[in-house]
Structure 1
Amino acid sequence: MSQTILFLSVPLLLLICICNITPEKHLHLPSYVVPCSKSAEDFDECSRQHGQEALSFITKGDKNYGIPLLSPLVLPSLKLDIAGLKLTFNDLHIYGLDTLELKKLKFDLNMNELTVDSYTDKVDLIGKYDMDGQLLVLQITGKGNMNVTITGLDIHYRVNYKLEEKDGDVYIVIPNKADVDYTMTRVYFEFDDLFGGNKQLSDATLKALNDDWDQFMEVLKPVIIETIVSIVESIAGGVTSNVPLKYLFLD
């Protein structure tokens, strides 16, 4: 199978990947993030619990820390070239990030490793699409409104962060490469105006997409992983790139 190539538009790069701009002077933790004691026996559970409590604030966005609005997360443009299929999403709204449940939030301070396990019942992607080409055995063309619903999304994220000194303070730097895996219970596709509105071709294609959703999502896996990495980087990196390490934890 051909390699999947991901193209991110300039607005999206600015929104997700380059939004963590460090100010001239460092910041303290936002009031909604409560630090945990590194020496406490329940350090990992404290981190998870306080992280869960902070999510309701974080998903609203915080310009002071370069964190974009995540409820919904709006992607102005996303262009993909997937094994012969050219696919563009415009004005893409992602709903459901505000319902994330943190199952694990672990800082391994000896190995400089961050692990995040999370789960959400449903994620909806709503926007405009434009596609033309072949996806597995299906020849697809169309342009219009789209709605993709993912249920039972379980995400595992692990990254080795770096420590960098700047202006006399040490900061955690979250790289844009991470070990990511996920499972999902089901995916439902809805694309309006496939084949110029030809109902017979459109219904047959949508049935194939929804019957074999797992095969099609496997093709999209590199794109999904890239998006997950960017979202986690924008959240965690928004705090760690602006707040010195000495303020992130007690002790």
Structure 2
Amino acid sequence: MQLNEKLEKLKVLFTDMEQALIAYSGGVDSTLVAKIAYDVLGEKALAVTAMSPSLLPEELEDAEIQAATMGIRHQIVETNEMENPNYTSNPVNRCYFCKSELHDTLKPLAKKLGYPFVVDGVNADDLQDYRPGIQAARERGAISPLAEVGISKLEVRQLSQQLDLPWWNKPAQPCLSSRFPYGEEITVAKLQRVGRAEIYLRKLGWENLRVRSHEDTARIELAPENIKDFVANTDLTKIVSAFQELGFMFVTLDLEGYRSGKLNQVLEERIKN
């Protein structure tokens, strides 16, 4: 199916809904969904962003700016996943409890405001990865238009660029809890520490990155093509000092580089063995 055909199918989906509340993180996927929903439904589309310690303040600000640019109505709600030990203990299905909290917040809000549908930004590629949060969303009746039409991550970016969305190439930015290996307890302090570390590196000009936290050790992941430049042209001593001020004892660089879903590697190894 051609990309423009998929776009038309998306529009038809929203036309049939008549009203929709969008679970809107500000990432490229949910932003595309919000854009198309607004183009089709206008004031009958509402984007809702969940604010919690696992969302970088900069990401919340981006979500607000992008919503205002598109023109869609935007609302912010608080979620309380940090109060759930099933989430903070960081099991392999942590995302299930995160999305449960999200949609247990959005579903009654949608009902209260008169929106019959809650939609999210899950794309077709997400269905190929280990994403327990998708199950939680489905159990609560959420709809995933991108996945339903078969739109991949690459096609999300292509469509976003085609629609002149300036953030079409925005790096993926999953919640900060994804920076911790399964089984390591998640706390607000740890989330803030790793978030500030990533903000520090971004201010130095590095974009597509992660700072993984392993207890007192920070492991920096950069795009593989940027590693040599980072080592050669960055004041490493200054970075170590900045990270230690945030509370890390050791600072390391992942020589493999950034790869989405890397922490799921341990699950793959368990399956093999």
TM-score if structure 2 supplies the norm length? Answer: 0.25
Q: Which has the higher strand share?
A: 1
Instruction: Choose between structure 1 and 2 for higher RCO, CA contacts under 8 A separated by at least 6 residues.
Output: 1
Q: Which has the higher helix share?
A: 2
